[in-house]
Amino acid sequence: KQEVTQIPAALSVPEGENLVLNCSFTDSAIYNLQWFRQDPGKGLTSLLLIQSSQREQTSGRLNASLDKSSGRSTLYIAASQPGDSATYLCAGTGTASKLTFGTGTRLQVTL
Amino acid sequence: ETGVTQSPTHLIKTRGQQVTLRCSSQSGHNTVSWYQQALGQGPQFIFQYYREEENGRGNFPPRFSGLQFPNYSSELNVNALELDDSALYLCAITTTGRMGEQYFGPGTRLTVT
């Protein structure tokens, strides 16, 4: 059974800092790894998808890496902005497109 | 903009009642999944429909059921509501062209009193 853990649970940083969010998973037989952003009370916005054959993906100030052998993924956010404040969730996809989520990291970027 | 819509936005029901939640997408993707997200938790997989048939189910009792229609819109039905069913219910479509990337709707907030 896949289990996904995210550390830290909450993080507060000043504007402009670079930061790393961590995600670990127990079953290396994942199909892909997806990072999401969730604003309070809202749905999930897909940020990056890393396929199992890839090691990283980049979109703007975001970079996500995947190391299946160690069961880890990281989301790097460069030059953080107050608008980045949200909860970030990672999820691994097994068969039948089922996503297994972590509990998320709540990020606050302060002025 | 994901193109995935859900209705209603909010819903308040009484314990023991039944509820139907709806999901549709602009492009009519043939795979739709439903998730339950309790406050402060990550979403939990309920089930998935592919071409109108259930294609995988999470650890939820039979009173959670679903349908997918020929136009690929979907419904989630919950019978005999319990207080613990209070949550945000999310549907997601899978874009087969992107190796299973999933796009979520805005969710339905269900409160059971």
pLDDT tens by residue, A72-111: 999 999 999 999 999 999 999 876 678 999 999 999 999 9
Which of B4, B93, B104 to probe by mutation at the A interface, max A CB count within 10 Å?
B104
pLDDT at A44: 95
Decide: B22 and B67 in contact? Cβ < 8 Å. no
Residue A11 burial (10 A CB sphere; 0-12, 13-18, 19+): middle
Task: Tell me the pLDDT of chain A averaged across its residues.
Answer: 93
Cβ contact, residue pair A44, B109, below 8 Å: no
Assess whether pLDDT exceeds 80 at residue B2: no
Contacts B106 to A, Cβ<8 Å: 42-43
How high is the pLDDT of residue B97? 55
Tell me if A31 and B40 make a contact (CB, 8 A cut-off): no
The percent of residues above 70 in pLDDT, for chain B, comes to: 94
**Contact state of B43 with A99 under an 8 Å Cβ cutoff:** yes
Per the prediction, chain B carries an average pLDDT of: 91
What pLDDT, on a 0 to 100 scale, did the predictor assign at position B107? 96
Q: Residue B84: what are its φ and ψ, rounded to 5°?
A: -70, -10
- Indicate the pLDDT class of residue A31, thresholds 50, 70 and 90: confident
Under the banding of pLDDT at 50, 70 and 90, the label for residue A71 is very high
pLDDT for position B55 = 87
B41-82 pLDDT, tens per residue?
999 999 999 888 998 899 999 999 999 998 889 999 999 999
DSSP B1-56: ---EEEE-SEEEE-TT--EEEEEEETT--SEEEEEEE-TTS--EEEEEEETTEEEE
Total count of residues recorded for chain A: 111
Q: Evaluate if residue A2 carries a pLDDT over 50.
A: yes
Q: Which helix (H) or strand (E) holds B101?
A: strand B101-104
User: From CA B17, how far away is CA B66, in angstroms rounded?
Assistant: 16
In Å, how far is B43's CA from the nearest CA of chain A? 6
Per the omega criterion (within 30 degrees of 0), is the bond before B8 cis? yes
